[in-house]
Amino acid sequence: MKSKDLITIIIIGIVSAVFSVVLSSKLFVTPESRHQTVEIVPVISSNFNQTDVQKYLNNKYIDPTVKIEIGTTPGGSNNLY
């Protein structure tokens, strides 16, 4: 490799580095324009509002945890749980 070729490669490298820095500053987003606004969600509480649920949970409605008998026979063989 001749010294003339080495100087040409160095000059091409410097020119391409300067060109890439200038081009990347125009193409890519600058730090000033990266700011975005986001929606702030409300704080989640561990308290559960039971006033809305009490209309469904009272002693007048069917309790699904009790035994339900369907048909009664003297032997009691038709009891379902």
Confirm whether 48 is domain-assigned.
Answer: no
Domains held by the chain: number: 1
Confirm whether 12 is domain-assigned.
Answer: yes
Query: Cβ contacts of residue 72 below 8 Å, gap of 6+?
Result: 78, 79
| pLDDT per residue as tens digits for the range 21-61 | 988 877 876 667 677 788 898 888 777 777 777 766 666 66
For residue 19, the enclosing domain spans 3-30
Cα separation, 81 vs 58, in Å, equals 22
Confirm whether 10 is domain-assigned.
Answer: yes
pLDDT of res. 52 = 72
Confirm whether 69 is domain-assigned.
Answer: no
Confirm whether 80 is domain-assigned.
Answer: no
Q: Can you give the pTM of this predicted structure?
A: 0.36
Confirm whether 58 is domain-assigned.
Answer: no
